[in-house]
Amino acid sequence: MQLDKKKILYDMAQNNPVVVTDQLESVLAASMVNFPDDKLFLVCDQNSDLFCLPLLCDTPGIEKFKKIVVPAGEEHKLLSSVEQIWLFLSRNGADRKSLVVNLGGGMVTDLGSFAASTFKRGVQFINIPTTLLAQVDASVGGKTGFNFNGLKNEIGVINQPLQVIIDTRFLKTLDHDNFISGYAEMIKHGLIHSQDHLAELRNFDLMHPDFIELRGMIARSVMIKTYFVEQDPHERNIRKALNFGHTVGHAFESLSLKQGKPLLHGHAVAFGMITELYLSKLSCGFADGILHNLTEWLLAIYGRYQVAEEDYESFYELMGHDKKNEGKRINFTLITSVGEVEINRNCSKKEIFEALDFFREVNNI
């Protein structure tokens, strides 16, 4: 099958590996030809193997891939899963001339990318993200890794894939909760960079999504993340803007895992954004009226989540483990207004608890 470059709908930049396309089979086939037939490897989880791999059946040469299927779910984003991939690669003769294709959501692309980045000191890999969260978040920036010691993404490296291929056909396999989980990252991109993007997100029909319209929105969301990543590849400065909602959001996520009631990442980030919008009001003068308007919108999408006051200390301790912190200070990305970001903002324990009080109040209405 010959690749028709005119049908690649969005190619972000000459040096950017992200392609948004409606002819994934051709794009993947064009990349495969640069690797020996016996050096092609595919990493899936149980869900992407069952629901997503069949969409690749028309890809020329797909039968040449050796496949490993890892357990699905955030609870399996562990070193033990990485070890399974390393053993699979080793036993099947992988070397530095190999290609690893990771097909799945962010859990699969993070694990598979880390395994490929560290096996034989690094082999080439392509990510095919199959969830909205993976397409708009994990697809850009080269972050890889796994959860460790109860903390999310505690171990990892930054390493760019050879290519990221995004196709919205996969999104039709998602249930509503997983779909809106990814949508939270798109909302974050609008809040930190673009009032126009935020407006189109607010007008999009989440209950009856138009996947052709969504394709363009995904491309614009990816472009926003690309804008920050290209300026600061190693997250020492402005790339920290992308952490909005995540300092508190990761604490929500980690605590929910410990309590045996895991939140999806995007839901945790949505709740983190509500809390950090309040911190933005306290610390950066974010408008109270816009705070309440956005809070109502986010709660309408993600539902209500109860937080107990006795959990505040656990929240605070979990925030203290966040990778963005410097020393003992808890480091936030906040916003002064939509599209205007303040990085490296430190909030007091009292302010953080006040923000958690606000979150409890709006969820108890």
Q: Are residues 189 and 280 in the same domain?
A: yes
- The 10s digit of each residue's pLDDT in 257-305 is 888 888 999 999 999 999 999 999 999 999 999 999 999 999 999 999 9
User: Which pLDDT value is given to residue 320?
Assistant: 85
User: Which pLDDT value is given to residue 47?
Assistant: 94
Task: Identify the sign of the CA torsion 330, 134, 12, 102.
Answer: positive
Q: Which two tokens stand for residue 346?
A: 């430190």
Domains identified in the chain, total number: 2
| pLDDT above 50: residue 306 | yes
Q: Which two tokens stand for residue 244?
A: 């909005």
Cα separation, 168 vs 131, in Å, equals: 9
179 falls within a domain = no
Domain termination residue (choose one: 145, 174, 203): 174
Are 181 and 162 spatial neighbours (Cβ–Cβ below 8 Å)? no
Q: Are residues 163 and 251 in the same domain?
A: no
Beta-bridge partners for 326: 329
Cα separation, 294 vs 287, in Å, equals: 11
Are 17 and 164 spatial neighbours (Cβ–Cβ below 8 Å)? yes
* Confidence category of residue 6, pLDDT binned at 50, 70, 90: very low
Q: Are residues 112 and 58 in the same domain?
A: yes
Span between the terminal Cα atoms of the chain, in Å? 57
| pLDDT above 90: residue 65 | yes
33 falls within a domain = yes
- The 10s digit of each residue's pLDDT in 8-18 is 344 444 455 78
Q: How would DSSP label each residue in 159-188?
A: ---SEEEE-GGGGGG--HHHHHHHHHHHHH
Q: Are residues 352 and 227 in the same domain?
A: yes
DSSP percent split of the chain into helix, strand, coil, nearest 5: 55, 15, 30
Q: Which two tokens stand for residue 83?
A: 């070890």
Domain termination residue (choose one: 134, 154, 174): 174
* Confidence category of residue 7, pLDDT binned at 50, 70, 90: very low
Domain assignment of residue 165, given as a range: 5-174
Q: Are residues 146 and 191 in the same domain?
A: no
Q: For 86-106, what is the mean pLDDT?
A: 97
| pLDDT above 70: residue 145 | yes
346 falls within a domain = yes
Q: Are residues 241 and 344 in the same domain?
A: yes
- The 10s digit of each residue's pLDDT in 308-331 is 999 999 999 999 876 565 656 788
Q: For 160-185, what is the mean pLDDT?
A: 94
Which run of H or E residues covers position 113?
A: helix 106-118
208 falls within a domain = yes
180 falls within a domain = no
CATH of the domain at 280: 1.20.1090.10
Q: Are residues 122 and 191 in the same domain?
A: no
Domain termination residue (choose one: 174, 198, 224): 174
**Comparing C-alpha atoms, which of 19, 235, 271 is closest to residue 135?**
19
Q: Are residues 190 and 162 in the same domain?
A: no
User: Which pLDDT value is given to residue 359?
Assistant: 97
CATH of the domain at 132: 3.40.50.1970
Q: Are residues 198 and 110 in the same domain?
A: no
Task: Identify the sign of the CA torsion 18, 249, 45, 169.
Answer: negative
Q: Are residues 76 and 103 in the same domain?
A: yes
Are 238 and 232 spatial neighbours (Cβ–Cβ below 8 Å)? yes
Are 42 and 55 spatial neighbours (Cβ–Cβ below 8 Å)? no
Strand residues in the chain grouped as ranges (E): 10-11, 18-20, 40-45, 66-70, 99-104, 124-129, 146-148, 151-155, 163-166, 331-337, 340-346
pTM reported for the whole predicted model: 0.86
User: Which pLDDT value is given to residue 365?
Assistant: 62
The mean predicted confidence, pLDDT, of the chain is: 91
Q: Are residues 17 and 46 in the same domain?
A: yes
Q: Are residues 107 and 201 in the same domain?
A: no
Q: Which two tokens stand for residue 242?
A: 């992308």
The count of residues in the chain is 365
